[in-house]
């Protein structure tokens, strides 16, 4: 296994239930603050995830919501 393959294997991908939890958190934040004030940081905090986790799956705020 190459170092790149080992690093990729060490990072779990966002799938299934966890993805659903993140999307639910995004909707909660969206309902609370609106689209203009929604940030990836706020969603990450609400979902108890890192911003890197969000950005690996959704490159922009628009793609998340």
Does residue 7 sit within a domain? no
Does residue 20 sit within a domain? no
**pTM (predicted TM-score):** 0.75
Does residue 5 sit within a domain? no
Does residue 13 sit within a domain? no
Does residue 60 sit within a domain? yes
Domain that holds residue 60: 25-65
Does residue 45 sit within a domain? yes
Token pair listed for 44: 């990450």
C-alpha–C-alpha distance, residues 41 and 25, integer Å: 11
For residue 57, count CB atoms less than 10 angstroms from its CB and return exposed for 0-12, middle for 13-18, buried for 19 or more. middle
| Low-confidence stretches of the chain (pLDDT beneath 70) | 1, 4-14
Structural domains in the chain (count): 1
Cα 6–Cα 9–Cα 15 angle in degrees, nearest 5: 165
Does residue 54 sit within a domain? yes
């Amino acid at each position: 296994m190459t170092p790149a393959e080992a690093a990729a294997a060490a990072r779990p991908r966002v799938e299934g239930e966890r993805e659903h939890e993140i999307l639910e958190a995004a909707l909660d934040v969206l309902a609370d603050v609106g689209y203009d004030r929604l940030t990836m940081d706020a969603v990450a905090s609400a979902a108890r995830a890192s911003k890197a986790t969000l950005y690996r799956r959704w490159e922009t705020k628009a793609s998340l919501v």
